[in-house]
Structure 1
C-alpha cells in the first residue's frame, strides 16, 4: 500500500487538535487528524467539560425546583437518579460529535481512527482497535493528545468502588456516600454536583485551602457554601492507602483518620497521554507528568513537530487549547504568527454557585505593591438575582486607584462564567479605554445580571472619593 502523505497530521481531536486541523485546512493544507477513539471530540467532549457540565446543569435545575415554594407539592413526586442524568449527558455528547465530524467533512480533513506512534520524525504508524496498521507521513505534526486522570500504582482502579473523573461517568447508581480525594477544579465541581444530588460527601484536600489560585474572598465563599450544602472539608491531608471492600471504600490518611464511604472519587491531578507515542524515536522527552515542553510557537525539540493543549501543561483550559492549536497551525502555514494567548485568560469553575475570574487577585496585587481599590456588587441587591431566586454571589472589580484602569474581575454566583466576559472585554482595551468609569457611563438593560458592573463600579469609585 502506498504511504499516504499530508501537509499536516494532527494527533488528537479535542479542542487543541480541532483548532489546529481546521486552521490548517482552511489555509489550503492537506490535513489528516488521528484519534485513538472511534468518536472524535477528545476528553473535552467525552469525559471532561461537556458531560460534567451537563450533569451540573441538570442537577442545578432540579435543585432550583426543589427549593422553589411554587413547586414544593409537585417536586416530591419527581425522582431523579444519577444514571438518568448520565443519559442526558450522552445525548449532548452525541450532538457535539456529529457537529464536529461535519466540520472535518466539509473541509476535506481525513479522520483516522487509531493509536498513532512515531516511527521516525516524519512518519507515524496508526493502529486501529482491530489491530490494522497504517503508516502516515507528514511535513508537519501537531500533537494534541490531551491528558488522563493520574492513577497512582498503589491504588486499585479496577475495583468498581474506586473511580476517577472518567469512570465516574459510568456509575450505574446514585451513591449514598462518596469521598473525593483532591480538591482542585475537578474535585470541587464534582463535590457540588454530587452533594446537590443528596450524596453524603467528604472532600479531602492536600492543601490548606481550596483553589488557592483564586481570590481569597472567593475561596472563603466557596468553602462556606460547600459546608452549608453539607459537604465535609478536610484540609492538609495526605492519603496513606486506599482500601476497597465489597460494600465500601476506606481511605486511610496519614493523619490517622479513616474515611469510609460507598465510593472513592480520585481527583488528584492529570498526566499527559504520551505513553506509546514514540517520542523517543524523534528525540523528545516528557516531564514527570508526561507533558511535552514547547517554545513560544508551540514547537517541540523537533521544529516541524508541534504540541498544543493540555499535554503541554498550563493553562489546561479547553478555550485556551483551541487557540493554541490555531496559533501552531498559523505558524506552520505562514512560518510566523503574531498572536499569543491573551495575557489574562478567564477561568470558569462550575461549582454551585459558579465561579469565574480574570486578572490578578487582591493577594497578587498587594504583593506587587499596586495601589488598587475594590468595587463590590452583591447579587442579593440585584433585581434579576431576586427574580431568578439566586441571591448568593457577588461581582468584584479590582482597579487602579489613580488611573482607574481595571486590573481584575472576580465573580461568584449565578451566571458568573458568562458575566466575567463583559469585564474581560473592557480590560482588553488599551489606554484610557480600559477604565472602570465605562461601567458608570454605560446604560445596562434592567433587570439583568450585567447591571452588577454598574453597581460595583459606583461602589469602587465612591471608595476612592471617600464616600
Structure 2
C-alpha cells in the first residue's frame, strides 16, 4: 500500500479542524483533511450547532407570527409540523457544506474520507466506509474529531421514543410531552425550543441550579423565564432507570419520583470522539469521557500531535474550537504561542431568552476579593426594545471600582450573542482603553440595543462615591 505524504494531516472537518487546515494551507503547507463524513463540516454543521440554531429560528418565527396574529394561531399549529421546520435547518446545512467545501478547494487542501487510525506517530491509516484503506504520513497531526452525546450503556437508544441531542432532530412529529434529562446548555436550549412549540416539558437537573457557570443573576433570570413559559424544572435529581413502553417512557428517579412522558431526551454530557484511533499505542491518554489532555500549545504528550476543539473538553464552543485550530497551526508553522486567541471567549446560549457572557461573574470577583461595581440596563426601558416588543432581558456590566476596568459582561435577552461583541471589543483593549467610561463618552445611535451599554455604564457609575 502506497503512502501519501503531507506537511500536516488534520483529522476532523469541524470548526477546530477547519481553523487548523486553513491557517496551515495559507502558510504554504501541504495539508490533508480526514473526515469520516462524505460532506465536510463536522458535527457542528450536520447534527449540532447549525441545525439546532436554524430550528430555533424557525420556531421563533412561528411564535412571532402567532403572537402578532392570534387569529391564525390554530391554523398555524395545524400546518407547522416539526419535520417542516427541520426543512429550513436542512437547507442551511446544505449551504454551509457547499461554502466550506469551496474553502478546501480554493486552498488546495486534499480530502480523505474515512476513519483515521494511527499506525505509528507519523502514519495514519484511513479506512473508508467500503473498507478500502490508504496511508497518510505527516510531520504534524491535528486531532479535531469533536464529540458526540454520551450514551449510558443501560439506556436503549434504539427505542423510538428515546433520543439524544443528535437524534432528536430526526423526529417527524411534534410530541405532546417531553422529558429532558440533563439541564446543561443543550438541555436548556431544547427545553426552551420545544416549550415554544407548545410541548409540555419537564427539565430534570442533576445539580442545584441551572448553568452554574453563569453569573448567578443571569442563571436565576433564565430559571424564572423558563418557568414562566411553562417548563417544569426539577433540581438535584438523579436517574435510577428508564422504562420504555409502547406509548411512552417512564423515568424512575432515585428520589422515588416516577415521571411519564411521550418523548425522552437524554442531554447529560458528551464524549470525545477518540475511540479506535490508536492513541493508546502512542502513549496519548484520554479521560473517562474520551477527552485528550493537551498543554498550553494544544500539544499532546507526542509533541507533533496536537488536539483541538471539543475533543479536549471545555469550553466546547464552535468559536473557541476554530481559534484553537488556528492556535495549533500557528505553533506548528511558526513555533509561537498566541494566547490571546483563547482568552476571554464569549459564550452564547440559545435559549429563549438568549444568553451571552464574557469575563468574570459576580461570585468569582467576590471570591477573589476584587472591589467591583455593577451597572444594569434593563431592556424594558430601552426605546428600541419597546419598538420591537422584545423587552425581556438586561445587560449587566461589572467593573473595577478604582480603575474602572471592565471585568465582566453578561447579557440576557433578544440578540444577546450579538450585543456582547460591542463590549468585547472594548474589554480586549490594553490599558485605559478598556474602562467603563468609553460607553459614557461615546455616542450610540438612537434608538438601538447598543444604547444599553451607555445606560448600564451610567447606572454603574452612579453607584460610585
Same topology, TM > 0.5:
yes
Question: Partner of 1:352 in structure 2?
Answer: 352
Give 1:62 shift: 1.3
* Contact 2:309–2:325 (Cα < 8 Å) also in 1: yes
Question: Partner of 1:73 in structure 2?
Answer: 71
The whole-number CA distance in structure 2 between the counterparts of 1:343 and 1:370 is: 20
* Contact 1:121–1:281 (Cα < 8 Å) also in 2: no
* Contact 2:2–2:135 (Cα < 8 Å) also in 1: no
Question: Partner of 2:138 in structure 1?
Answer: 138
Give 1:220 shift: 1.0
* Contact 2:2–2:134 (Cα < 8 Å) also in 1: no
Q: Deviations over 1:217-275 (max 9, x none)?
A: 11111101111111100000000001111110111100000111011100000010000
Q: Which runs of 5+ in 1 are unaligned?
A: none
* Contact 1:293–1:312 (Cα < 8 Å) also in 2: yes
* Contact 2:17–2:325 (Cα < 8 Å) also in 1: yes
Question: Partner of 1:112 in structure 2?
Answer: 112
* Contact 2:14–2:144 (Cα < 8 Å) also in 1: yes
The whole-number CA distance in structure 2 between the counterparts of 1:297 and 1:50 is: 28
The DSSP-based 3-state class of the residue aligned with 1:345 is coil
Question: Partner of 2:162 in structure 1?
Answer: 162
Asked whether 1:362 is paired with 2:362, we answer yes
The whole-number CA distance in structure 2 between the counterparts of 1:337 and 1:214 is: 29
Asked whether 1:405 is paired with 2:394, we answer no
Asked whether 1:10 is paired with 2:10, we answer yes
The DSSP-based 3-state class of the residue aligned with 1:463 is coil
The whole-number CA distance in structure 2 between the counterparts of 1:177 and 1:144 is: 36
* Contact 1:7–1:31 (Cα < 8 Å) also in 2: yes
The whole-number CA distance in structure 2 between the counterparts of 1:210 and 1:337 is: 35
The whole-number CA distance in structure 1 between the counterparts of 2:258 and 2:73 is: 37
* Contact 2:349–2:355 (Cα < 8 Å) also in 1: yes
* Contact 2:248–2:263 (Cα < 8 Å) also in 1: yes
Give 1:343 shift: 2.6
The whole-number CA distance in structure 1 between the counterparts of 2:280 and 2:344 is: 35
Question: Partner of 2:440 in structure 1?
Answer: 440
The DSSP-based 3-state class of the residue aligned with 1:292 is coil
Give 1:75 shift: 4.3
The whole-number CA distance in structure 2 between the counterparts of 1:410 and 1:294 is: 29
Aligned ranges 1:16-415 → 2 under 5 Å: 16-68=16-68, 71-78=69-76, 79-415=79-415
* Contact 1:327–1:340 (Cα < 8 Å) also in 2: no
The whole-number CA distance in structure 1 between the counterparts of 2:2 and 2:351 is: 51
The whole-number CA distance in structure 2 between the counterparts of 1:384 and 1:349 is: 22
The whole-number CA distance in structure 2 between the counterparts of 1:383 and 1:234 is: 36
Q: Deviations over 1:31-54 (max 9, x none)?
A: 100001111100110111101100
The whole-number CA distance in structure 1 between the counterparts of 2:114 and 2:80 is: 37
The whole-number CA distance in structure 2 between the counterparts of 1:404 and 1:284 is: 45
Higher mean alpha-carbon deviation, 342-351 vs 269-278, is at 342-351
Q: Deviations over 1:6-46 (max 9, x none)?
A: 11000000000000111111111111000011111001101
The whole-number CA distance in structure 1 between the counterparts of 2:369 and 2:301 is: 38
TM-score (norm 2): 0.98
Give 1:340 shift: 3.9
Q: Deviations over 1:325-375 (max 9, x none)?
A: 011111111122344434321111000000011011111111111111111
The whole-number CA distance in structure 1 between the counterparts of 2:265 and 2:72 is: 33
Q: Which runs of 5+ in 2 are unaligned?
A: none
Give 1:4 shift: 0.7
Q: Deviations over 1:188-225 (max 9, x none)?
A: 00000000001111000000000001111111111011
The DSSP-based 3-state class of the residue aligned with 1:449 is coil
The DSSP-based 3-state class of the residue aligned with 2:310 is helix
- CA RMSD of superposed structures (Å): 1.0
The whole-number CA distance in structure 1 between the counterparts of 2:369 and 2:44 is: 39
The DSSP-based 3-state class of the residue aligned with 1:341 is helix
Give 1:74 shift: 3.7
The whole-number CA distance in structure 2 between the counterparts of 1:302 and 1:380 is: 54
Higher mean alpha-carbon deviation, 203-212 vs 324-333, is at 324-333
Report how many residues are paired. 463
The whole-number CA distance in structure 2 between the counterparts of 1:342 and 1:313 is: 14
The whole-number CA distance in structure 1 between the counterparts of 2:453 and 2:338 is: 32
The whole-number CA distance in structure 1 between the counterparts of 2:314 and 2:72 is: 46
Give 1:76 shift: 3.7
Higher mean alpha-carbon deviation, 186-195 vs 338-347, is at 338-347
